[in-house]
Amino acid sequence: MSEKEKPSEEKLPKNEDQNLEQKAEKEQKEVSQPAEHIVEQTSEEKKPEDTIENAMVDEAKATEDKKNAEPATTPEAALESDDEEEEDEEKPTSQDRPKDAQSEVDDAVAEDSEDESAGERHGIEKKDYHAMSKEALVDELEKLVKKEKVQAIKEHVDEIRAEFNAKFDEEVEEKKEEFLHEGGNIIDFHYSTPLKKRFNSIYFDYKEKRNNYYRQLKQDLNQNLEKRLEIIEELKSLIDVEENINTTYKHFKDLQDRWKTAGAIPRDKYNTVWNTYHHHVENFYDFLHLNREFRDLDFKHNLEQKLKIISRAEELTQEPDTNRAFRELQMLHKMWKEDLGPVEKEFREDIWQKFSDATKKIHDKRQEHFAQLEQQYEKNLEKKEEIIGKIKEIADVNYNSHSQWQQKIKEVEALREQFFNAGKVPRHVNEQTWQKFKETVRTFNRNKNAFYKNQKKEQYHNLEKKLELVKIAEENKDSEDFKATTALMKKIQSDWKKIGHVPRKDSDKIWKRFKAACNHYFDRLHATRSEENKEESEAFEQKKALLDKLKNTELTGERKKDLPTIKQFIEEWKHLGRVPYNKRYIEGKFNKALDHAFDKLDMDKKQTEMLKYENKVQALEDSDDTRKINNEHYFLSKKIEETKAEIIQLENNLQFFAHVDDSNPLVQEVHKNIEDHKEQLKIWKEKLEKVKNLY
């Protein structure tokens, strides 16, 4: 109740000689009936003793009876009653509050008076629980329950529980599918894990702590309410006490001190109880003949302090941070109510009007700020809806390759980041938008997991096929029937490439076994052929002479003259044919000689590489050795994948320099590395195409 709304009261007679008994009798009659703005009479027959205090006591008892149910005492009961909300914890939203400036401040002061931890609730970091694993969610829940105040973590706990249950339900569905696939009966299915039991235990502890906290809070608030009502009754009775005025005044100051330390009370009682208290404080000052020295000192002190409060409130009207201004305004109102008494009547209306005017300015400025925020929130909502739509488009498509899924995973991750950076949305759609986003991402993850689950089954099937080929290769690696076995070995090498991927943990191991068996056989084959083939020895001697000739050739350094000469050496070398297996090192020497020759020419790197590689391709073709071709094919494929991975890594590294100028040496170095790798990738791919043409 604002001071300006209080009805004007009859001033005390200025005749100091008037009979004290007459004045006391008159004042007793005036205070025996509550003021109209304090108690509303619903009927003319309502008795004078039906005051606001009695009404509040009755209401407090009724509320106590209504809330008297015992909390759950077992984990199962706690989990079943999870959706029930404690009434003490409900906070009025901005939409619930009246638009009147003073009413809003009064509500805020009442709210803070009940829950002193309200300011701490928003200081806990809210993490991306959707992206956490079940283990990480349980650890986070345990940390919150152990380290934070139980009244400050409800939103966090609710979200963690929703995410954990969603992930666990997915796991249960997978296990159920496996159980039924293996022939199990659905009525016999049951699934639990130690992690789930740990989660339930921690969540039960949280429910117990929360129930105990609110049970104790309700008890403390009601006890404090009783204390304040008792103080009001004592305050009312002061005017009936026949004692020395100094003693009465000392008793009054003692009641004021007790009021300040009486503690928090239920917020719905706060403003009414304070108005009642303030009404009787003013009665004490205005209707009793206090010693004027005491009264004037109090009035002067209260006026000085209230003028300081008004001055600070007027300064706050210029504060750019409207939330900060409003929070401090709440403190000023609480000081006005709790710490200070009335002033002389002639100043009451004026100072309250000044305080109210400042309050209204801050309130209006805050409402304007909120209106601007709402406009921005609406724009943010549009962005988030658009992002959710893009994720849904991706989630609704069934991709059939690993590379496609990896690409879409990156796209969804980028969209998730955009969603989190898009800003707040209007409060009334916040939960709906968040749930829609999570469900869309979860749909994508379900489809992705289903793909890789099926792919894993296929990979194990491929593993069995490749193990069969390994067995064939190992059984035939020492065969003396080279004619039949060579065809067999070539066939299983061809079959190997057609089978597809196997689990990563088995890939290298079985490939090494298969490669070792094939190499062992073909090494024996080539050793035998080298002894029988004199032409290869003659080719070696010819290539040796040609190599010496290349080394001794003096190049002019002019590209137009020297390039045809080098190409001629390459063509001659290609037509000389194969060399013995144990003499094949000469191919490497020739390539080194070519490198030395090309270094003297100003040629494009790719062109140089491919000219030299033509020689190697010819050697592979002449050898008619499927093993060598397969090895080269595998080598080039591996180099292509490695180069792609390095390019991706370098491009990801650029994200760390997003806010760095492109002229920065480090940024330029990364860009140069990316371009070099891309050029090398083109060379690897072109080489691979030439090898493929050999099959």
Residue 103 confidence (pLDDT) above 50: yes
Spatial neighbors of 359 by CB under 8 A, at least 6 apart, are 101, 102, 105, 313, 329, 333
Residue of 209, 208, 348 whose CA lies nearest to 278: 348
pLDDT at 604: 67
Under 8 Å between Cβ of 459 and 411: no
Residue 465 confidence (pLDDT) above 80: yes
Rg (CA), the chain: 44
The CA–CA distances, whole Å, from 529 to 74, 517, 533 equal 83, 19, 6
Pick 289 or 107 by higher pLDDT.
107
- Residues 465-487: what's their mean pLDDT? 89
Residue-by-residue DSSP string for 170-197: HHHHHHHHHHHHTT--GGG-----HHHH
- Residues 28-46: what's their mean pLDDT? 31
Q: Reduced to 3 states, what is the DSSP secondary structure of residue 547?
A: helix
- Please state at what angle helix 154-181 crosses helix 194-237, rounded to 10 degrees: 150
Helix (H) / strand (E) element for 13: namely: none
Spatial neighbors of 142 by CB under 8 A, at least 6 apart, are 202
- Please state at what angle helix 267-287 crosses helix 245-260, rounded to 10 degrees: 160
Under 8 Å between Cβ of 23 and 13: yes
Residue 5 confidence (pLDDT) above 70: no
- Please state at what angle helix 267-287 crosses helix 292-316, rounded to 10 degrees: 140
Under 8 Å between Cβ of 197 and 134: no
- Backbone dihedral angles phi then psi of residue 153, each to the nearest 5 degrees: -120, 10
Residue with tokens 């380290």: 147
The CA–CA distances, whole Å, from 546 to 541, 556, 564, 569, 594 equal 9, 19, 16, 8, 12
Lowest mean pLDDT of 82-86, 379-383, 507-511, name the range. 82-86
Pick 101 or 460 by higher pLDDT.
460
Pick 429 or 243 by higher pLDDT.
429
Pick 39 or 674 by higher pLDDT.
674
Pick 104 or 269 by higher pLDDT.
269
CA distance 370 to 624: 79
Spatial neighbors of 135 by CB under 8 A, at least 6 apart, are 195
pLDDT at 602: 67
Spatial neighbors of 604 by CB under 8 A, at least 6 apart, are none
- Residues 242-256: what's their mean pLDDT? 79
Strand runs labelled E in 397-482: none
Q: Burial level of 545, CB count in 10 A (0-12/13-18/19+)? A: exposed
Pick 447 or 532 by higher pLDDT.
447
pLDDT at 51: 35
Going by pLDDT thresholds of 50, 70 and 90, the confidence category of residue 511 is very high
Rounded to the nearest integer, the mean pLDDT of the chain is: 76
Residue with tokens 């190697």: 616
Helices and strands per DSSP (H, E), number in the chain: 22, 0
Lowest mean pLDDT of 200-204, 305-309, 459-463, 530-534, name the range. 530-534
Going by pLDDT thresholds of 50, 70 and 90, the confidence category of residue 142 is very high
- Residues 636-651: what's their mean pLDDT? 88
pLDDT at 116: 52
The amino acid present at 542, given as its one-letter code, is Q
Question: Which DSSP category does 10 fall into?
Answer: P
CA distance 392 to 439: 10
The amino acid present at 479, given as its one-letter code, is S
Pick 436 or 528 by higher pLDDT.
436
Three-state helix/strand/coil letters over 61-111: HHHHHHCCCCCCCCHHHHHHCCCCCCHHHCCCCCCCCCCCHHHHHHHHHHH
Lowest mean pLDDT of 344-358, 367-381, 400-414, 563-577, name the range. 563-577
- Backbone dihedral angles phi then psi of residue 444, each to the nearest 5 degrees: -60, -45
CA distance 621 to 619: 5
Residue 307 confidence (pLDDT) above 90: yes
Q: Reduced to 3 states, what is the DSSP secondary structure of residue 149?
A: coil
pLDDT at 554: 80
Going by pLDDT thresholds of 50, 70 and 90, the confidence category of residue 532 is low
- Backbone dihedral angles phi then psi of residue 364, each to the nearest 5 degrees: -65, -40
Percentage of the chain beyond pLDDT 90 is 13
pLDDT at 579: 79
Under 8 Å between Cβ of 95 and 349: no
**Could you give the count of Cα atoms lying within 13 Å of 589 in the half-sphere of its Cβ?**
14
The amino acid present at 467, given as its one-letter code, is L
Residue 603 confidence (pLDDT) above 90: no
Pick 659 or 389 by higher pLDDT.
389
- Residues 636-647: what's their mean pLDDT? 89
- Cα 84 to the chain's mean position, in Å? 26
Lowest mean pLDDT of 56-65, 420-429, 448-457, name the range. 56-65
- Residues 468-479: what's their mean pLDDT? 91
Residue 406 confidence (pLDDT) above 80: yes
- Cα 167 to the chain's mean position, in Å? 16
Residue-by-residue DSSP string for 235-283: HHHGGG--S-HHHHHHHHHHHHHHHHTS----HHHHHHHHHHHHHHHHH
pLDDT at 236: 85
Residue 247 confidence (pLDDT) above 60: yes
CA distance 118 to 176: 44
CA distance 512 to 497: 14
- Residues 160-164: what's their mean pLDDT? 88
Residue 125 confidence (pLDDT) above 80: no
Residue of 52, 160, 170 whose CA lies nearest to 442: 170
Tokens read off for 192: 């639990």
The amino acid present at 487, given as its one-letter code, is A
Under 8 Å between Cβ of 1 and 275: yes
pLDDT tens per residue across span 40-67 = 332 333 333 333 333 333 433 333 333 3
Question: Which DSSP category does 496 fall into?
Answer: H
Residue 414 confidence (pLDDT) above 80: yes
Percentage of the chain beyond pLDDT 70 is 79
CB atoms within 10 A of CB 249: 19
Spatial neighbors of 281 by CB under 8 A, at least 6 apart, are 235, 256, 341, 342
CA distance 584 to 257: 104
Highest mean pLDDT among 30-34, 134-138, 585-589 belongs to 134-138
Residue 351 confidence (pLDDT) above 80: yes
pLDDT at 278: 83
Spatial neighbors of 78 by CB under 8 A, at least 6 apart, are 72, 203, 204, 207, 208, 211
Residue of 528, 544, 438, 429 whose CA lies nearest to 479: 528
- Backbone dihedral angles phi then psi of residue 396, each to the nearest 5 degrees: -85, -5
Residue 388 confidence (pLDDT) above 90: yes
Question: Residues, the chain, total?
Answer: 695
pLDDT tens per residue across span 181-233 = 667 777 878 888 899 999 999 999 999 999 998 888 888 888 888 988 998 88
Residue 382 confidence (pLDDT) above 60: yes
- Backbone dihedral angles phi then psi of residue 7, each to the nearest 5 degrees: -65, 145
CA distance 555 to 552: 9
Strand runs labelled E in 274-391: none
Residue-by-residue DSSP string for 564-578: HHHHHHHHHHHHT--
Tokens read off for 200: 């339930």
Spatial neighbors of 364 by CB under 8 A, at least 6 apart, are 101
Residue with tokens 């065809």: 487
pLDDT at 636: 86
Tokens read off for 486: 């060579």
